[in-house]
Amino acid sequence: MNPASAQAAAAPLLVCAPNWLGDGIMCMPAVQEYRAAHDTPLAVLVKPGLAPLWRMQAAADEILVYTPEARETVRAAARLRRRVFRGAVVFPNSFRSAFLPWAGRVSPRRGRRGHWRGPLLTDVAAPGAAAAAGHQAGEYYELLGMPPADPVPPPRLTPGPEAEEECRRRFGIEPGRRYAALSPGAARGPSKRWPEEHFAAVGRALAGRGAAIVILGGRDEAALCERVAEAVGGSARSLAGRASLPAAAAVLAHCAVAVTNDSGGMHLAAAAGTRVVAVFGLTDPAKTGPLGPGHTVIAAPGARGARDIPRASAEAAACLRGIDPERVAFAAIEALA
């Protein structure tokens, strides 16, 4: 084999990963299964915020980070041009996600149509019937050329000893103590957020059963999580904006149950091995529900199971308000037990 052929044979497949926490976790089962079944190394291209997520699993042989600023996008494309890849699979549907491998001269480039990016792809993949009928995670299997798993297994995340040390020393998590997590935020906004007073009511019910309550969320959800912690009272505390992604996963691994919205926090809890009680409004749990067995979804009666909803929807907010906290608390206490 000549040197050029040897270099091509050893070249990684470029995986342009989603940059939302939930979508990033939902694509992981397909990536992990592909890597286990192939000798092909994988290079995952992702924004800085989700690089720690990909470092918690072993399927990515390499993590390439870029930032969305225009100048950095040009530099990232130049870095790709200096590399040899056997191709790119573009998971997100955005224009930028297809532009980077196109500008980086990575070929072939496989992805879905949309956002005026068809000409940037060499292989426009139509959704298959199996993925269209099942969980969103199945779509990533199809883009990698595999039939969707049924059911899709949860991804395997390993926070690592540094994250475990952080959650013990910095946050005082004690092995053997019963913890319950609340994740009242959702990056999508009010359309996916169950009322904070309902989360607080569930937190008080769990605390009454002897659970120590931790509230988790991102930096922009810190004020919301602090209000919930204050309303729960007692020893409840918010770690929002203070815990890194690996530390949050380590904290969740100590929790018997996590009560969440349809959010990235829900998927992180499931991937950490925590039993999830997820509150769904208009969105469809058959498409974006938590992966793995043992979880409970509480949905509003008659919810229409939409795939995409506006960030601020009066219909969605009313649907969520109508979900009784006692119903969620009962499921969470059952999981705690």
pLDDT in tens, 187-240: 888 889 999 999 999 999 999 999 999 999 999 999 999 999 999 999 999 999
Two domains, one topology: 10-143 and 161-336: yes
What six digits make up the tokens of 114? 């949309």
What six digits make up the tokens of 3? 């040197």
Q: Which residues of the chain have pLDDT under 70?
A: 1-9, 130, 302-307
In angstroms, how far is the first alpha carbon of the chain from the final one? 61
Return the SS3 of 257: strand
pLDDT in tens, 162-180: 999 998 999 999 888 999 9
Look at residue 331 in the predicted model and tell me its pLDDT: 97
DSSP H or E run through 64 = strand 62-65
Distance in angstroms (rounded) separating the CA atoms of residues 11 and 180: 44
Look at residue 145 in the predicted model and tell me its pLDDT: 94
Q: Which of the four CATH numbers 3.50.50.60, 3.40.50.2000, 3.90.1150.10, 1.20.1530.20 does domain 161-336 have?
A: 3.40.50.2000
Look at residue 245 in the predicted model and tell me its pLDDT: 95
Look at residue 76 in the predicted model and tell me its pLDDT: 93
Class of the CATH domain delimited by 10-143: alpha beta
- pTM > 0.75: yes or no: yes
Q: Which residues lie closer than 8 Å to 48 by C-beta, 6 or more apart?
A: 65, 67
Look at residue 42 in the predicted model and tell me its pLDDT: 98
The residue ranges of every structural domain in the chain are 10-143, 161-336
